[in-house]
Amino acid sequence: MGKTVTVRLDDKTYRMIRSAAEADHRTISNFMEVATLSHILEDNFASDEEMGEILANKPLVKRLKASAAAAKKGKFRIVG
């Protein structure tokens, strides 16, 4: 079941969202949900092309594996 979330927006932001939702023939809540999911998926995950470039970089992959192994063993330091 969906959750209800209250969001406070300034007038200008609300008008922009409302206008974009109307242009897409969506409700404001549906527009915000779709836009948020799109942002999360595009910003937090590598595309197949990007992942291919990462995996092709052998020195990087080697360092990532070594870092993951060190983290598993608790051999890391948090730098703030």
My answer on whether 79 and 52 are in the same domain is yes
Q: How many domains does the chain have?
A: 2
- d(C-alpha 72, C-alpha 40), whole Å: 27
Contact 27, 17 (CB under 8 A): no
Domain membership of residue 67 as a residue range: 46-80
38 and 51 fall within a common domain:
no
Please indicate, yes or no, whether the overall pTM of this predicted structure exceeds 0.85: no
Reported as a single tens digit per residue, the pLDDT across 6-29 is: 999 999 999 999 999 999 999 999
Query: For position 61, what pLDDT does the model report?
Result: 95
pLDDT tens figures, 48-73: 999 999 999 999 999 999 999 998 89
Q: Are residues 65 and 40 in the same domain?
A: no
Query: Is residue 14 domain-shared with residue 41, that is, in the same domain?
Result: yes
